[in-house]
Amino acid sequence: MKWLFLLFSVVTFPLQAEPLKVGSKRFTESYILGEVLIRTAADGAVHRPGLGNTGILYAALKSGAIDLYPEYTGTIAKEILKLEGHPGLAELNRALAPLGLGVAVPLGFHNGYALAMRAERAQALGVRTLGDLAKHPSLKLGLSQEFIGRADGWPGLKAAYGLALVTPSGLDHGLAYEAIAAGRIDVMDIYTTDAKIERFQLRALEDERKFFPRYDAVLLYRLEVPKRFPEAWARLQKLEKRIDERSMIRLNAAAELQGKSFAEAAALLDSAAGAATKSERKFLAVLFGPDFWRLTVEHLVLVFVSLAASIAAGIPLGILSHKVKALTQVVLGFVGVIQTIPSLALFAFLIALLGTIGTVPALIALFLYALLPIVRNTHAGLEAIGTGMRQAALALGLGTGERLRRIELPLAMPAILAGIKTSAVINVGTATIAAFVGAGGYGERIVSGLALNDSTTMLAGAIPAAALALIVQGAFELGERRFGWVTRAGART
């Protein structure tokens, strides 16, 4: 595993001056704040958008995969540091310092958690506060996965209010608004600066027991950042108290309701107006947007670097499973079990193992997923060679290695190529999930489209991935026919 890590590091991270790396979570406001930060920092600062939930961002920050990201004081206190009470910035910094982290630059707004219902539904049931939910145990809840798992989310809220409601369904935050509008759920978790609260006529339920802490927006950063990026850090400090709640709602509305990109919404911070005009997302304009070639290159790197490593390891493993009968089931069973592991679970495991996010864990995961077709087809191709052919090779006096190289592998090559083709096509699709851990590629558009519940953006990521899969399959079939002719000629000689 170590040699794979080194190989992928050399391929994907050439030696050069590292820019300031800004991360963001997978919801609209975090995307926009990430764009605000790189615009303000300048000097080539890069944004790694939509990396996932708090746990992934925190792991990325500790490992140095990112240098800072926008976070909220309540999340830092309750979810990261597990502190009681309502600590201020000084107390948070004392607790973060041993971790090499700090919190600074309060941006000027509070974005708290709340549970909400459609106003008319809440009115009909007489639900005004969180405590009133206990009177209606049959209500259907659709909560974000992070909220369901957080200590300051559903588990703590349920205990604090003695709620005996049915188990909530896990829903992406952007999709939950559509679900509550359609009546498929009754209650969802919201962020108090969400632009869609008013549009969908939702009522935030009063937290009469003050369960939720304050969630003031701040920067969570590595303590080395001010020294490594002094000029960028000085510019970032000018954001202190710059964004009030009304401004943040306006920026969120620009992305969610007016069809602007996250970067365009972030640019509105410097403008007193402009968010009110709605702009249509033209599919072709989004498809061939300025990020198209960057995402294409990232996707191709993910697919073909991992595929090359899979070929280099998979063919020898297939030969080994054929030659050493005692290892056949061990090898085939190992690569088969890997294929059954859910992709996001494998990504999470690799992030914890390697202590980093981004391209390296994504490449290793794709390498592992691509092994099964190559190993199994190599083994099957060698097994299919007739006894007569092997006996003829023995009669010619060919040794084991020469027999494998000149007779067995050429005859098995059509099956091996079929396995490589299958792995390549599978990798094209699986690589879209790598965007959930900051590896880029076409999946980046799919992730941001989910955050906005914007089908145009999602299709602008899904369609190029599907087209690339078809191109890869067609290219392999052309090569397969050409190589098959060479193989037959070689076999006759």
Does one domain contain both 259 and 316?
A: no
In a domain, 5, yes or no: no
**β pairing state of 68-72 and 202-204:** unpaired
Angle CA(224)–CA(58)–CA(434) in degrees, nearest 5?
115
Residue 30: which residues within 8 A CB-CB, separation 6 or more?
24, 69, 70
Does one domain contain both 327 and 385?
A: yes
In a domain, 2, yes or no: no
Domain enclosing residue 326, as ranges: 292-492
Q: What is the pLDDT of residue 8?
A: 47
- Which residue, 204, 236, 264, sits at the end of a domain? 204
Give me the percent of the chain exceeding a pLDDT of 70: 89
Kindly list the strands in the beta sheet with 46-48, ordered across the sheet, starting from the edge strand earlier in the chain. Answer: 46-48, 21-23, 68-72, 217-222, 101-104
In a domain, 272, yes or no: yes
In a domain, 406, yes or no: yes
Name residue 155's amino acid. P
Instruction: Look at residues 426, 315, 307, 336 and name the one whose alpha carbon lies nearest to residue 378.
Output: 315
Does one domain contain both 104 and 122?
A: no
Q: What is the pLDDT of residue 268?
A: 93
**232-257 pLDDT, tens digit each:** 999 999 999 999 999 999 999 999 88
In a domain, 209, yes or no: no
CATH of the domain at 338: 1.10.3720.10
The band of 63, judged by pLDDT with boundaries at 50, 70 and 90, is: confident
Q: What is the DSSP letter of 65?
A: S
Least confident range of 13-22, 39-48, 289-298 = 13-22
Residue 478 CB-density burial (10 A; 0-12 exposed, 13-18 middle, 19+ buried): exposed
Does one domain contain both 468 and 329?
A: yes
Does one domain contain both 307 and 273?
A: no
| Helices 455-492, 292-323: crossing angle, 10 deg rounding | 40
As a whole number of angstroms, the distance between CA 344 and CA 326 comes to 33
In a domain, 243, yes or no: yes
**pLDDT greater than 80 at residue 191:** yes
As a whole number of angstroms, the distance between CA 159 and CA 95 comes to 27
Q: Across residues 72-79, what is the average pLDDT?
A: 94
- Helices marked H in 64-201 — which ranges? 73-75, 89-96, 119-125, 145-149, 154-161, 173-181, 196-199
CATH of the domain at 240: 3.40.190.10
Tokens found for residue 149: 């798992």
Does one domain contain both 347 and 376?
A: yes
Place of tokens 């920026």: 251
Bigger pLDDT: 6 vs 264 = 264
Does one domain contain both 405 and 482?
A: yes
Does one domain contain both 312 and 425?
A: yes
Does one domain contain both 228 and 371?
A: no
Q: What is the pLDDT of residue 2?
A: 46
| Helices 230-237, 28-41: crossing angle, 10 deg rounding | 120
Does one domain contain both 72 and 187?
A: no
Does one domain contain both 48 and 166?
A: no
- Which residue, 204, 229, 247, sits at the end of a domain? 204
SS3 category, 23: strand
- Which residue, 227, 252, 279, sits at the end of a domain? 279
As a whole number of angstroms, the distance between CA 367 and CA 364 comes to 5
Residue 16: CA count within 13 A, CB half-sphere? 9
Cut 0.85: pTM above it: no
As a whole number of angstroms, the distance between CA 121 and CA 126 comes to 8
Q: What is the pLDDT of residue 12?
A: 45
In a domain, 287, yes or no: no
Look at the chain and report how many structural domains it folds into.
3
Does one domain contain both 484 and 395?
A: yes
In a domain, 82, yes or no: yes
